[in-house]
Amino acid sequence: MLPCKSSQPGYPTFLLRSLNLPKELTCEISDKQPGPKAKHSHESVKSNQPSERRKTELLEGTDKMNFKPVITKVENLAIQSIPNDKRNRRRSGRGRKKIFENYLSSSDVSTGLKRGELIQGPLRINPKNYHEAFLPSPDGSRDIFIDGIISRNRALNGDVVVVKLLPKEKWKVIIPEGCDSETNAVAQSDVLGEVNNVNFEDLPTHNKVKVLETSPDVIIEEQYDDSLDENDNGTSAKIVLDGSVGEINFSPSEKAAGFSGIQPVDKSGTRMQTSRQAKPSNMVVNDSRIHPDRFLQKTGKVVYIVEKKHSRAVTGFIKPLSDKNSELYNEFFMFSPVDHRVPRILIPSEDCPKDIMARPADYGSVLFICRIVDWRDDSNFADGHLTKSLGQAGEIEPETEGILIEYDVDFSDFPEEVLECLPKSLPWTIPKKELQKRKDLRNECIFTIDPATARDLDDAVSCCKLPDGNFEVGVHVADVSYFVHEGTALDMIASKRATSVYLVQKVIPMLPRLLCEELCSLNPMQDKLTFSVIWKLTPEGKILSQWHGRTIIRSCVKLSYNHAQSIIEDPEKIFSPDELPSVSPDHSIREIKTAVINLDNIAKHLRRQRFDGGALRLDQSKIAFTLDSESGMPQGCYIYEYKDSNKLIEEFMLLANMAVAHRIHRSFPEQALLRRHPPPQTKMLDNLTAFFEQLGIELDFSTAGTLHKSLDKTTGDDQYSFARKEVLTHMCSRPMQMALYYCTGVHYDEALFHHYALNVPLYTHFTSPIRRYADIIVHRLLAATLDSVQQIGLDKSDVQKQADHCNAKKSASKKVQELSADLFFSVFVKECGPLESEAMVMGVLDQSFDVLVVRYGIQKRIYCNGLPLQGFTFRKVGKNPELRLMWEPETLDQKPICQVIAIFELVEIVLKSDNAALKYSAILKKPTETPGKDIGTMRNAAETK
């Protein structure tokens, strides 16, 4: 552990002493820092960079430590808090001051919300700088900025909180480019579906530049992501020296001098400041009272926790307290979470392994699960209990289990009362009574198209040419609601899980496998219960008529996307029986081929019409893995290619979802469960537009459709158009909001129903009931429209509550899926690295830059102080941010090589595993051009015009 020094990143020692904290806790606070020194992180593909703790955080906090807070009930904990008598006894008599304010009463909160004095919303904490948190602004403007741990008042990431705005003089000043006033960073959200930070980097002699970092992606119709980077740098301010304006940067580790000229780097890789020192008395004041509102970002503090959405379960490591003479040394251990957004946790020694004191080194890399049970008002540390030892950090299964527990994914076996709800007589057959209620389509040519490894086959398609030249096209979806009866134990656990969770190596199912892989799955040559939507379509995809109803189908073949793609690419090819899966004897391969080709042709028309009609699709590449069949370790990885066969299924699933959305809304205007996609955040869209104008890129953000069309025109058609579009898509995803489930009876303004990306008035999820609980509710609503006898047991408030839960679980599932891919890629780099690839620059900061690794489709940050440089400068060429790197010559008679780093530049990088578990770095390869010559890779004219 580092000694407590005022120059160390974190709370200065004199401020820690002002809180009367004991020595061992003071050292622990100083040692608790985000960034590269962390030994382990699930955010393994995203580098951490230290961030400056603000002195005012503690100065303000000490003025408000006079009230005992009301500790809200801890939710979602497998182990509840035990009485704190023992802890209180251990801490008694030390005169500890309160750090956090007490929460408002529920009645005061209710009154404040009604009067508009308080604001409620989900809290999002920056994973790169855990002092920064955000709350969406109700008016859609910049997020409300929650500055510091004290202002966050013990709330954790994802919690629904109530915030009180601070006085206007404490708001954050945001000055756009071209203004002579001081510029601070624009603080914005980094978590699912929200805009990440737009970073204004301070320069000595040029205008400011916004640098966009990582972003989420939109798949089919939804925005998600959780992308991570925010302000790695500290705050900054201009200074005046001898009548001229310079700058001073408060870096994560020290108060540095103003940035000017080339920055040397010593042999240890540490940045060396060379600029003039400032006179504090000459510093320009960052006073929000003298600026117009458009240059301000509201700030606030948490005054109440409505719902503890965070599971309070975290993975991390345990170690003894640093001060052996402390009264707490033998009674508590320190738990250091992997996620820096979670506080360090004091755990009783009796929870820890008995031999940890004798063999501390043996436990240094063991991953544990800890659950927070309390967080006192007089401590920077939470109280918790160890619940489980996962195993060695860096191993796939312990890491995976830790991810699942942290994100509150239930991966336990289904309890007996749930299994009792399943059919007992196996093999199960469809009752004769049910056959009489349904349209029999078992003789039709119906088939599934799914990933090759899929076992939960939700949907099937059919296409039959009619005598008049039109087509009868059907989408047939498993009738899961037949087996999952409302109010049963099976229904309850499905509603709680809300979604299946897809990891690289396995699936955590929403339903028991008997249902999702056998009884409900549309396996070939088996009779299955379904809901069907059947259209009469012209060859161009115009809908002439449609029908909804309960059906029985018998799929004739299980095609993979690759099988269907082979048929689409070579319609004339004669497939041998061993080139395709087993086909029902009632249907021929030729019949199936014809249906696939006709579906593809219609899908292409539907797709063209959708985008001509104003739809938007923002895709980002997905990495896939080949695994060893015995060890489960990654043997290879590749970027998953989205082909015409994928697009075929997408178009008809969208068509079915829209058709069902209109039907259930028409029949149940107060109870319909639909899905909406709000438009982009206006302020961030304006910022992004200005940023692209600075780069000379012409994108039209006026509508979703114009953005889609201009993106296609801008990216070019050379060999790097994929990477270029990926970078632009990454940036354009920034202002996008998440698509959300909602109840129509709660949102009375139908303008809010609109789906921005699809550009349709009504949309829902109907086609995946095996893996999404929202679809089961939609199936029940659809069934009620078909049968007046069937009743819906949920009122609109129940539907909205379930919609909110599905939204939260869907977001968590996406994050878990991404972390699983990160985990496997980290292992792949360790086992198969170093890996070389071209990379395209995505963003340029003053000491680092972000790249898209073209070969693997991942994003990584490269730090200048980790390269063998003589120095580097950050400037703007026109309006384009640029780093100029001066590489150390290999021999004394050589001149330094200057390399220019700018957005859309191509560079060569190496991915190399670090010593710490699951950590790897991107290292820029040194150019090999003639010494002394500027190195800059070609850029497409579309980006530089």
pLDDT tens digits along 775-802: 999 999 999 999 866 677 788 999 999 9
- Report residue 213: phi and psi, to 5°: -110, -140
Average pLDDT over every residue of 506-512: 97
Of these ranges, 182-196, 468-482, 714-728, the one predicted with the greatest mean pLDDT is 468-482
Is 450 one of the annotated binding-site residues? Answer: yes
pLDDT per residue as tens digits for the range 884-936: 999 988 888 888 889 999 999 999 999 999 887 788 999 999 987 643 333 34
**Residues 15/39, Cβ–Cβ less than 8 Å:** no
CA distance 71 to 98: 13
101 pLDDT more than 80? yes
Tokens 């289990």 label which residue? 401
List all residues 6 or more positions away from 739 whose beta carbon is below 8 Å from its beta carbon: 193, 221, 222, 223, 675, 676, 677, 755, 757
CATH 1.10.490.10 fits domain 834-924: no
Tell me how far apart the alpha carbons of residues 828 and 435 are, in angstroms, rounded to a whole number. 51
- 160-169, 220-229, 584-593: least confident range: 220-229
State the pLDDT at residue 189.
Answer: 38
Sheet holding 848-853, edge to edge: 858-863, 848-853, 835-844, 906-913, 920-924
Q: Are strands 382-392 and 345-348 parallel, antiparallel or unpaired?
A: parallel
Span 26-44, average pLDDT: 36
pLDDT at 61 over 90: no
3-state helix, strand, coil in the chain (%, to 5): 30, 25, 45
User: DSSP readout, 375-407?
Assistant: --TT-SSEEEEEEEEEEETT-HHHHHHHHHHHT
> What whole-number distance in Å separates Cα of residue 646 and Cα of residue 625?
19
Residue 332 Cα to chain centre, angstroms: 34
pLDDT at 76: 34
Query: pLDDT tier at 287 (50, 70, 90 boundaries)?
Result: low
pLDDT given for residue 266 in this prediction: 45
Band (pLDDT 50/70/90 cuts) for residue 409 is very high
Of all residues in the chain, the percent with pLDDT exceeding 70 is: 75
Task: Return the structure tokens found at 267.
Answer: 């042999």
Find the mean pLDDT for residues 658-685.
Answer: 93
- Count the neighbouring beta carbons within 10 Å of the beta carbon of residue 732: 25
Res 175: pLDDT: 60
pLDDT at 208: 30
List the alpha helices (DSSP H) in 488-534: 489-497, 513
pLDDT tens digits, one per residue of 627-638: 998 999 999 999
What does the DSSP 8-state code read for residue 724?
H
Would you state the pLDDT for residue 895? 85
State residue 520's pLDDT score: 97
Tokens for 910, please give them: 């190496």
Task: Give the mean pLDDT of 378-396.
Answer: 92
pLDDT of amino acid 493: 98
- Chain CA centroid to CA 364, Å: 29
Closest CA relative to residue 494, chosen from 771, 123, 100, 867: 771
Beta carbons within 10 angstroms of residue 329's beta carbon: 16
Q: SS3 of 722, please?
A: helix
Model pLDDT, residue 742: 96
762-779: average pLDDT:
98
Cβ of 89: how many Cβ atoms within 10 Å? 10
| Angle (nearest 5°) at CA 586 between 583 and 591 | 70
Instruction: Give the start-end residues of each E strand in 242-353.
Output: 244-249, 263-264, 296-297, 300-307, 313-320, 332-337, 345-348
Confidence of residue 879 (pLDDT cuts 50, 70, 90): low
d(CA 730, CA 739): 17
- Most trustworthy range by pLDDT among 315-324, 572-581, 708-717, 771-780: 771-780
Paired tokens of 812? 């968590």
Strands (E), 493-602: 501-502, 507-508, 527-537, 543-554, 558-560
CA 289 to chain centre: 36
Residue 86 has pLDDT above 80, yes or no: no
pLDDT-derived band at 732 (thresholds 50, 70, 90) equals: very high
Taking the C-alpha atoms of residue 816 and residue 497, their distance in angstroms, rounded to an integer, is: 14
Q: Is 704 left (phi over 0), alpha (psi -120 to 50) or beta?
A: alpha
CATH 2.40.50.700 domain range(s) in the chain:
311-393
Given a cut of 70, is residue 273 above it in pLDDT? no
Say whether pLDDT at 268 is over 70. Answer: no
What does the pLDDT average to over 676-693?
A: 87
Nearest to 656 by CA among 618, 603, 613, 704: 603
What's the confidence (pLDDT) of residue 111? Answer: 95
What is the pLDDT confidence band of residue 715, given thresholds at 50, 70 and 90? Answer: confident
Number of Cβ within a 10 Å radius of residue 282: 12
Work out the burial of residue 516: count CB atoms within 10 Å of its CB; fewer than 13 is exposed, 13-18 middle, 19 or more buried: buried
106-174+292-301 classified as CATH 2.40.50.690:
yes
The token pair that represents 762 in the structure block? 């009504």
The CATH T-level fold of domain 311-393 is OB fold (Dihydrolipoamide Acetyltransferase, E2P) (2.40.50)
How far is residue 922 CA from its own chain's centroid?
Answer: 21
Tell me the C-alpha distance between 863 and 870, whole Å: 14
Calculate mean pLDDT across residues 807-823: 95
Q: Is the pLDDT of residue 512 over 90?
A: yes
Find the radius of gyration of the CA atoms of the chain: 29
Which pLDDT does position 293 carry in this prediction?
73
Least confident of 18-32, 44-58, 514-528: 44-58
What pLDDT is attached to residue 250?
32
| pLDDT of 590 over the 80 cut | yes
Query: Where residue 280 falls among pLDDT bands split at 50, 70, 90?
Result: very low
pTM of the model: 0.78
Give the separation between CA 395 and CA 367, rounded to whole angstroms.
10
459 annotated as a binding-site residue: yes
Give the confidence band of 53 by pLDDT, cuts at 50, 70, 90.
Answer: very low
For residue 542, CA distances in Å to 38, 473, 536, 603 come to: 57, 12, 8, 11
Termini Cα distance of the chain: 52
- Give the DSSP letter of residue 601: H
For 189-246, the three-class secondary structure string (H helix, E strand, C coil) is CCCCCCCCCEEEECCCCCCCEEEECCCCEEECCEEECCCCCCCCCCCEEEEEECCEEE
Report whether 144 contacts 137 (CB < 8 A): yes
For residue 124, is pLDDT > 80?
A: yes
CB atoms within 10 A of CB 188: 27
**CATH 2.40.50.140 residue ranges for the chain:** 834-924
386 vs 195: which has the higher pLDDT: 386
For the chain, residues classed under CATH 2.40.50.690 are 106-174+292-301
- Tell me what pLDDT residue 181 has: 31
CA neighbor of 191 nearest in space, from 155, 229, 149 = 229
Nearest one of 886, 569, 479, 943 to 731, comparing CA atoms: 943
Beta-carbon contacts of 204 under 8 Å, excluding residues fewer than 6 positions away, are 246, 247, 258, 259, 260
Instruction: Report the percentage of the chain scoring pLDDT > 90.
Output: 58
Whole-angstrom Cα distance, residue 486 to residue 776?
10
pLDDT of residue 325: 81
| Confidence check: pLDDT of 876 > 50 | yes
pLDDT value for 84:
47
Model confidence at 372: pLDDT above 60? yes
The DSSP string of 619-674 is ----EEEEE-TTT--EEEEEEPP--HHHHHHHHHHHHHHHHHHHHHHHH-TTT-EE
**Cα dist from 233 to 37, 58, 132, 202, 297, whole Å:** 16, 20, 12, 10, 18
Q: Identify which of 386, 375, 312 has the alpha carbon closest to the alpha carbon of residue 84.
A: 375
Distance CA 393, CA 336 (A): 13
